Structure 1
Amino acid sequence: MNTESYQPLTLMDFAEPESSSMWQAINDDVMGGESQGEPQVIDRQLHFQGDISLANNGGFASVRARGQHHDLSAADSVLIRIKGDGRSYQFRLYTKAHFQGSRIAYATSFQTIDNEWLELRLHFSQLQPVFRGRTLSGPAFSPADVEEMGFMLVDKREGPFKLVVDWIRAA
């Protein structure tokens, strides 16, 4: 790929009012846990915040933007501008790939610095296929078929959390 001629493609900038309704929470309550996390778009930024609980074998919170249709085959990475709380989060992309009847996530982790804006490049080569908390050996990530994107906190540490996302781009 000739990166000099490729202009980053904005996947999400949260300026449009409908961007708020695209984001949905999927927390550990789907399996009996008690963690809470929710997405809100405030001042053109996504705020993913809540509280992680380890009760009932819980310990994760996530948000996903559904209804995405991106061909990212001209890119090799995703750029994100985020402000976190010092915790480690996952960025996830979803394609048409399924395992045991459910969608596979392609995930990579990133570390935040408490209350500091960071611009991070997450290379597609870092993405690992994940299904319900376990890493799979395949299928390989297909950048031409991105249908959803999201963030997940799964560090097994109880307490409040907050991640603010300014934008998401492909590069």
Structure 2
Amino acid sequence: MLKNYLSRTVQLLGLGVKNRVAPSMQELVEFPLVKFNGPESISQVLSRCDKEIGGYSTVAMEWDENEQAARFHGQLSLDLPASRPDVQRSGYAMFRTLDPPKDFRGKEILWDWQYLSHIALRVKGDRRKYFVNIQSKTALPTEIHQHRLFLYSPGEWETAVIPISSFLLTNWGRVESLQKLDRGRVRTIGIGLLDRQYGPFSLYVDWIKAINDDEAEKIIREQREKAVERRRKQNEQVKEDE
């Protein structure tokens, strides 16, 4: 009976840590964090908005069959809840990965990115101001490291690459300090909307990864080549229209 219990425990832990432990960290090129590949994959994340404090924003995280990706969308409202005089600011929406699984001792199994240098995201968005949020083991649960998700081709698929060293520690959206992210103890990753603008938002997400320097340089080079080719075609089209 004890043997069966231990076997089941190991099996469950194996399922929980599949995307959190790498066999050879020093040789790691990329570390997949989130991959949306069907309706069931939406369960990897949770979504939240200011409605939880009485606000009026809406948020949804759904599978989009046409784009074959997840769609983070909704309506942002800055209106303060009439029933909550203690709330002085509203207007946010976000999604993030689930809390880490725990081992048999009840200790969280955290991501280890010590040999990785960048976050890469395959996305297709609008012109809203999104931020990438990373939560590690910090003193306060409300502290997260953030960085703007710059989209250079709204309405088109693109791969954004962000140096992990550029993320800033914030608390409730305000920069707290220049403390670097503890790459060896990462809990969750996600994307939030904090642009203080009323109206609809929509961001498609294919995958999110942590990658090394070489892979980052490769992706940036490919993105640059695509941008040059896109401008070339645009210039040719202008000449044809003249």
Q: TM-score, normalised by structure 2?
A: 0.63
What is the deviation of 1:19?
3.1
The answer for the alignment partner of 1:61 in structure 2 is 93
User: CA offsets, 1:42-84, max 9 Å, x none?
Assistant: 3452211000011114221111111343211110111111000
- Report the Cα distance in structure 1 between the residues aligned to 2:173 and 2:52, rounded to whole angstroms: 13
User: Which one-letter code corresponds to 2:145 in the other structure?
Assistant: Y
What is the deviation of 1:18?
5.0
- The correspondence of residues 88-103 of structure 1 with structure 2, limited to 5 A, is 88-99=129-140, 102-103=141-142
- Report the Cα distance in structure 2 between the residues aligned to 1:52 and 1:16, rounded to whole angstroms: 26
User: Is 1:110 matched up with 2:149?
Assistant: yes
Larger Rg: 2
Segments of 5+ residues of structure 2 without an aligned counterpart are 1-26, 81-88, 101-109, 212-242
Contact 2:167 2:180 in 1 (8 A): no
1:168 to 1:72, Cα distance in 2 relative to 1, 3 A: same
Percent identity, please. 27
1:138 to 1:32, Cα distance in 2 relative to 1, 3 A: farther
User: Which one-letter code corresponds to 1:143 in the other structure?
Assistant: R
Give the total of aligned pairs.
Answer: 165
User: Which one-letter code corresponds to 2:150 in the other structure?
Assistant: Q
User: Which one-letter code corresponds to 1:108 in the other structure?
Assistant: H
Tell which has more relative contact order, 1 or 2 (C-alpha 8 A, sep 6+).
Answer: 1
Segments of 5+ residues of structure 1 without an aligned counterpart are none
The answer for the alignment partner of 1:25 in structure 2 is 47
Tell me the C-alpha RMSD between the 2 structures. Answer: 1.9
Structure 1 window deviating more from structure 2 (5-14 vs 85-94): it is 5-14
Contact 1:47 1:163 in 2 (8 A): yes
